[in-house]
Chains A and B, each alone.
Chain A
Amino acid sequence: MTKVSMTIDGVRYDDEVEPRMLLVHYLRDVAGRTGTPVGCDTSNCGACTVLLNGLSAKSCSVLAVQADGADITTIQGLANGEWHPLQQAFHEEHALQCGYCTPGMIIASVDLLRDNPNPTEQEVREGLEGNLCRCTGYQNIVRAVMRAASASQGAAS
């Protein structure tokens, strides 16, 4: 067992874990942060995406021990009193149906907009290539990200 400590959604966690434990299992099974789901076992689907020190990471492809000392934000820590603009945009644009991909999709979009605050539609499509959705056909997801981007642009100007 190896000691790890990390901050998850603003709370400090100290635990002992098997070195092989995946970060997503640590989040779900040890820290009880079940808002982040698991959709595959080959890092293709992106459902488990979290922010690791501010950058998006598929938490199934990170060991818990590799996240030692990290600051992690999951979908459950994204709202700050009120919903994050992307959560709001996903809701308003009907960018989710079953909602299973949504936590990863929103977190990946946060990082996408951090990297490129004013993306084209094609840039959004390519930027979310690592996150799969089976329900929406992505069209409303793209709309939601564009909407959140223009809302932030509006707020900034």
Chain B
Amino acid sequence: MTVTTEIGKARARKEDARLVTGQTNWTDNIVLPGMVHIAFLRSPMAHARIRSVDVSGARGAPGVIAAYSGADFAAEQGSLPCAWPVTPQCLIPAHPPMATEEVRYVGEIVACVIARNQYAAADALEKIDADYEPLPAVLDMEAALAEGSPKVHAAGNTSFEWPFAQGDIDAAFRDAPVVIERTYRQQRLIPCAMEPRAVACDPTGDDFTLWSSTQIPHVLRFLLAVVTGIPEQNLRVIAPDVGGGFGSKLQVTAEEVLTLLIGRKLGRPVKWTESRSEGNLAVHHGRDQIQRIKVAADSDGRLRGLSVDLLADMGAYLMLVTPGVPLLGAFMFNAIYKMDAYSFKCTGVFTTKVPTDAYRGAGRPEATFAIEHAMDDLAAELGMDPLELRKRNWITHEEFPFTTIAGLTYDSGNYEAATAKAVELFGYDDLRKEQAARRASGDPVQLGIGISTFTEMCGLAPSRVLGSLSYGAGGWEHATIRMLPTGKVEVVTGSSAHGQGHETAWSQIVADRLGVPFEDVRVLHGDTQVASKGMDTYGSRSLTVGGIAVVGACDKVIDKAKTIAAGLLEVSADDLEWTPGRWSVRGDPEQGRTIGEIALATFAAHNLPDGVEPSLDSEATYDPDNFSFPHGTHLCAVEVDTETGQVKIRSYVAVDDVGVVVNPLIVEGQVHGGIAQGIAQALYEEAAYDADGNLLTTTLADYLVPSAADLPTIVTDRTETPATSNPLGVKGVGEAGTIASTPAVVDAVIDALRPLGVTDVEMPCTAQRVWRAINEAKGGM
């Protein structure tokens, strides 16, 4: 048995030392001798044929080194990759990094200037003459699918249809006592990581070093080689300090490909850094679905069947995992509930907007919103408490492992325990009483309660499952442990941190496993020359996959150390026993060697046993057998001013079960931040377009990322049901808060207003939208 002292400890983070003092290494900080700066000219049209792009005016401008249009890259730029062709027929249009013939969204790159500084480059953009022949914008998914719609791509506006069914859905709906049918709208969101993207390229001989503000240095290296034909061994990709991602930096971008190609053309270091308003136009967006939901139930509330028909806006092109995002939700609409049948269909639709792709939760927040919202609608239809309806349908803790109607096997969970804790912390019964009193008195400020008893699938992912879903890569992760002669430890991880705290959490895992001090462990990541193998960080996978690889590598070190210790102690290896940090002779614990002593002896290699290589260093690659299924119960109380439509979150309780917790400080931080992003979708954020396809929310003045004053204090707590699918018992936590919170908030708003006849408010539930919904329900407006 391993004695754990570090796992579970609220360690303040190692990475903070550089971050709180400004000793950071953001990509935009990188300055190399002779470095020049790139600025991109972007399409001002949502859809147009490019008649001509004349960059000659820019070429002579002050400080300008070069200027190029798409024609200059036509032979070498390839097409930006989509790694997830979800069906064999999936339409994946060519996607040149710099447009050559047609532009399909405002913000698509058409030309670039390279100059001595970013000011000169920006100035010279104005001297480029780009001439367009306008084509009709295609902005609405339903209109895009209608007969005779203008086409985004010559081959059509449908990328794919992906159907999935389990059980007899017709039987479930036939003669069902209760059927509800709803259409929900997932608005389009902009991820808004605080660090705008930046890319720098240093070409040296045949070799290229590329720094990028990316979540995926390893995947990026592989795909840059595929796209550009530059041999993979000549490419080194570094993700230095990365200021947040949330999926937006899980991408192979036009700017990365072009910065590499420009570096190659010029043979000198180049850098591009985006402005926020450029980023809102060009970083992939998230969500954007129309969800048509049908639920069949018995009159006591037992679920019979669920039918989901999704329209998912791909935007103008398929990017890295664009079509896969709604599929990640396909297995989650049934959530924690038992039912007889389930059918799902998703249609991927092209529009002339920024492409969509992964954004925190990627598919699961959309699904969770729909099912939790539908459960509330069903409860209202049945006149039942929505919590009671959930209890009647959820998987009970005795039933695990449980194979759901969508075919996933949930390894563990305890929805009763998490809910009971949340209900108590929240004061559910008292709030219901207060709600009844306010309703009775006709209080202009009504109280609403929203419930989210969520689960999600994360820890992406078993490679075989990804393969069966036509994803282009595996879901394993890699780790290396290097034992230094002084007994200190270097951990090389294929996970690529950008705020999650891997340097701290991995140190805790290794400290426990090897029995070394936390301070003696250093974690290296984010550079393909240092961490040669990896699948990077997204889908709440780092701990549940990368962390387990670290454990595997530690165990190999311990095994190697055993053989060497036996030689040093002149005993049989069978007579040794491991206590963290030390191999010693069973029954004679004085006789032993610490892992540090063994490391030094291995370095000297003077008297190792015959045939034993002089190294303790070990690597491990871990491919999970299953996803991880964190769950929890989030409860939100809102006060809605029925005269102004203003919504105020009064209290929010989150009880999450993420299995065994390595660092409660980090877990709580992930929950806080995740909830904030889910509340942002519920109440504040929306990427809005005008009728011509211009994005209206290009700045943080228009796109309302909430501030401290806009968010409540969250009450958090946990239950701990260890995952049975990995040796640490851990589950992912990066996305859970975002997945859980949006329906809790929106359902609270609607719950407050149901007596007024309001049944839905489209997100974000701004004061104006709420006020309109109230007045429409009254028959006004």
How far, in whole Å, are A94 and B29 apart by their CA atoms in the complex?
24
A81-112 interface bits toward B, Cβ cutoff 8 Å, 1 = contact, 0 = none:
00100010011101011111111001000000
Contact residues in A for B677 (Cβ distance below 8 Å): 134
- Nearest B residue (CB) for A89: B20
Size category of the binding interface on chain A: 35 or more
User: A125 at interface (Cβ–Cβ under 8 A)?
Assistant: yes
The one of B28, B243, B701, B713 in contact with A98, judged by C-beta atoms closer than 8 angstroms, is B243
How far, in whole Å, are A91 and B668 apart by their CA atoms in the complex?
14
The one of B500, B665, B668, B709 in contact with A129, judged by C-beta atoms closer than 8 angstroms, is B709
Q: Closest approach, in angstroms, between the C-beta of B25 and any C-beta of chain A?
A: 9
The one of B22, B194, B700, B708 in contact with A36, judged by C-beta atoms closer than 8 angstroms, is B22
Q: Closest approach, in angstroms, between the C-beta of A96 and any C-beta of chain B?
A: 6
Q: Closest approach, in angstroms, between the C-beta of B15 and any C-beta of chain A?
A: 7
User: B707 at interface (Cβ–Cβ under 8 A)?
Assistant: yes
Given A91-B17, A98-B243: 11 more A-B contacts, CB < 8 Å: A37-B24, A42-B276, A78-B21, A100-B26, A100-B243, A100-B244, A103-B22, A129-B709, A132-B700, A137-B673, A138-B711
* Pair A97/B244 contact, Cβ less than 8 Å: yes
Q: Closest approach, in angstroms, between the C-beta of B212 and any C-beta of chain A?
A: 15
Contact residues in B for A76 (Cβ distance below 8 Å): 21-23
- Nearest A residue (CB) for B677: A134
Name the prevailing secondary structure of the B interface residues: loop
* Pair A92/B12 contact, Cβ less than 8 Å: yes
B191-221 interface bits toward A, Cβ cutoff 8 Å, 1 = contact, 0 = none:
0111110000000000000000000000000
The one of B12, B275, B709 in contact with A126, judged by C-beta atoms closer than 8 angstroms, is B709
Number of chain B residues close to chain A: CB under 8 A: 55
* Pair B194/A134 contact, Cβ less than 8 Å: yes
* Pair A74/B22 contact, Cβ less than 8 Å: yes
A2-23 interface bits toward B, Cβ cutoff 8 Å, 1 = contact, 0 = none:
0000000000000000101100
- Nearest B residue (CB) for A20: B119
User: B16 at interface (Cβ–Cβ under 8 A)?
Assistant: yes
Contact residues in A for B13 (Cβ distance below 8 Å): 91, 94
* Pair B708/A124 contact, Cβ less than 8 Å: yes
B24-36 interface bits toward A, Cβ cutoff 8 Å, 1 = contact, 0 = none:
1010110000000
Q: Which 6 A-B pairs have the closest CB atoms?
A: A35-B22, A100-B243, A99-B19, A98-B499, A137-B676, A137-B672
A105-143 interface bits toward B, Cβ cutoff 8 Å, 1 = contact, 0 = none:
010000000000000010011101111111111111110
- Interface centre among B13, B21, B119, B701, by most chain A C-beta atoms within 10 angstroms, is B21
User: A149 at interface (Cβ–Cβ under 8 A)?
Assistant: no
The one of A18, A39, A130 in contact with B276, judged by C-beta atoms closer than 8 angstroms, is A39
* Pair B707/A132 contact, Cβ less than 8 Å: yes
* Pair B21/A90 contact, Cβ less than 8 Å: no
Interface of chain A residues 37 through 95 with chain B (CB within 8 A): 37-42, 44-45, 47, 74-76, 78-79, 83, 87, 90-92, 94
Contact residues in A for B711 (Cβ distance below 8 Å): 125, 137-139
* Pair B276/A35 contact, Cβ less than 8 Å: no
- Nearest B residue (CB) for A45: B700
User: A152 at interface (Cβ–Cβ under 8 A)?
Assistant: no
- Nearest A residue (CB) for B16: A91
- Interface centre among B244, B674, B711, by most chain A C-beta atoms within 10 angstroms, is B244
User: B408 at interface (Cβ–Cβ under 8 A)?
Assistant: no
User: B246 at interface (Cβ–Cβ under 8 A)?
Assistant: yes
Interface of chain B residues 663 through 718 with chain A (CB within 8 A): 665-666, 668-670, 672-677, 699-701, 705, 707-709, 711, 713-714
* Pair A37/B26 contact, Cβ less than 8 Å: yes
A-B contact pairs, 29 of them (CB 8 A): A18-B119, A20-B119, A33-B22, A34-B26, A35-B24, A36-B22, A38-B28, A39-B194, A40-B276, A41-B277, A42-B277, A42-B699, A87-B20, A91-B13, A91-B16, A91-B17, A94-B12, A97-B669, A98-B243, A99-B16, A124-B708, A129-B707, A131-B707, A132-B194, A133-B194, A134-B705, A136-B673, A137-B674, A138-B708
How far, in whole Å, are A73 and B98 apart by their CA atoms in the complex?
41
* Pair A44/B700 contact, Cβ less than 8 Å: yes
In the complex, the number of residue pairs spanning A and B with C-beta atoms less than 8 Å apart equals 177
* Pair B194/A41 contact, Cβ less than 8 Å: no
How far, in whole Å, are A97 and B537 apart by their CA atoms in the complex?
15
The one of B18, B666, B676, B705 in contact with A94, judged by C-beta atoms closer than 8 angstroms, is B666
* Pair B192/A97 contact, Cβ less than 8 Å: no
Contact residues in B for A21 (Cβ distance below 8 Å): 119
Q: Closest approach, in angstroms, between the C-beta of A128 and any C-beta of chain B?
A: 5
Contact residues in A for B713 (Cβ distance below 8 Å): 121, 139, 142
Q: Contacts A128-B708, A134-B244, A135-B244: A41 and B276 contacting too (C-beta < 8 A)?
A: yes
* Pair A75/B276 contact, Cβ less than 8 Å: no
Q: Closest approach, in angstroms, between the C-beta of A71 and any C-beta of chain B?
A: 17
How far, in whole Å, are A133 and B674 apart by their CA atoms in the complex?
12
* Pair B246/A134 contact, Cβ less than 8 Å: yes
Contact residues in B for A94 (Cβ distance below 8 Å): 12-13, 665-666, 668-669
How far, in whole Å, are A132 and B23 apart by their CA atoms in the complex?
20
User: B153 at interface (Cβ–Cβ under 8 A)?
Assistant: no
Q: Closest approach, in angstroms, between the C-beta of B474 and any C-beta of chain A?
A: 27
* Pair A37/B669 contact, Cβ less than 8 Å: no
Contact residues in B for A131 (Cβ distance below 8 Å): 707-708
- Nearest B residue (CB) for A124: B708
Q: Closest approach, in angstroms, between the C-beta of B4 and any C-beta of chain A?
A: 21
How far, in whole Å, are A106 and B668 apart by their CA atoms in the complex?
21
* Pair B707/A128 contact, Cβ less than 8 Å: yes
Contact residues in A for B119 (Cβ distance below 8 Å): 18, 20-21
Q: Closest approach, in angstroms, between the C-beta of A81 and any C-beta of chain B?
A: 12
* Pair A98/B16 contact, Cβ less than 8 Å: no
* Pair B16/A96 contact, Cβ less than 8 Å: yes
The one of A37, A98, A142 in contact with B242, judged by C-beta atoms closer than 8 angstroms, is A98
User: B501 at interface (Cβ–Cβ under 8 A)?
Assistant: yes
* Pair A45/B19 contact, Cβ less than 8 Å: no
Contact residues in B for A106 (Cβ distance below 8 Å): 20
Contact residues in A for B582 (Cβ distance below 8 Å): none
Contact residues in A for B498 (Cβ distance below 8 Å): 98
How far, in whole Å, are A111 and B710 apart by their CA atoms in the complex?
21
* Pair A139/B714 contact, Cβ less than 8 Å: yes
The one of A87, A97, A100, A135 in contact with B21, judged by C-beta atoms closer than 8 angstroms, is A87
User: B117 at interface (Cβ–Cβ under 8 A)?
Assistant: yes
User: B313 at interface (Cβ–Cβ under 8 A)?
Assistant: no
* Pair A139/B22 contact, Cβ less than 8 Å: no
Contact residues in B for A100 (Cβ distance below 8 Å): 26, 193-195, 243-244
User: B377 at interface (Cβ–Cβ under 8 A)?
Assistant: no
* Pair B701/A44 contact, Cβ less than 8 Å: yes
Contact residues in B for A42 (Cβ distance below 8 Å): 276-277, 699-701
User: B735 at interface (Cβ–Cβ under 8 A)?
Assistant: no
Q: Closest approach, in angstroms, between the C-beta of B361 and any C-beta of chain A?
A: 14
Contact residues in A for B242 (Cβ distance below 8 Å): 98
How far, in whole Å, are A44 and B627 apart by their CA atoms in the complex?
39
Contact residues in B for A38 (Cβ distance below 8 Å): 28, 196
How far, in whole Å, are A76 and B21 apart by their CA atoms in the complex?
6
Q: Contacts A41-B699, A131-B707, A142-B708: A47 and B277 contacting too (C-beta < 8 A)?
A: no
Contact residues in B for A91 (Cβ distance below 8 Å): 12-13, 16-17, 20
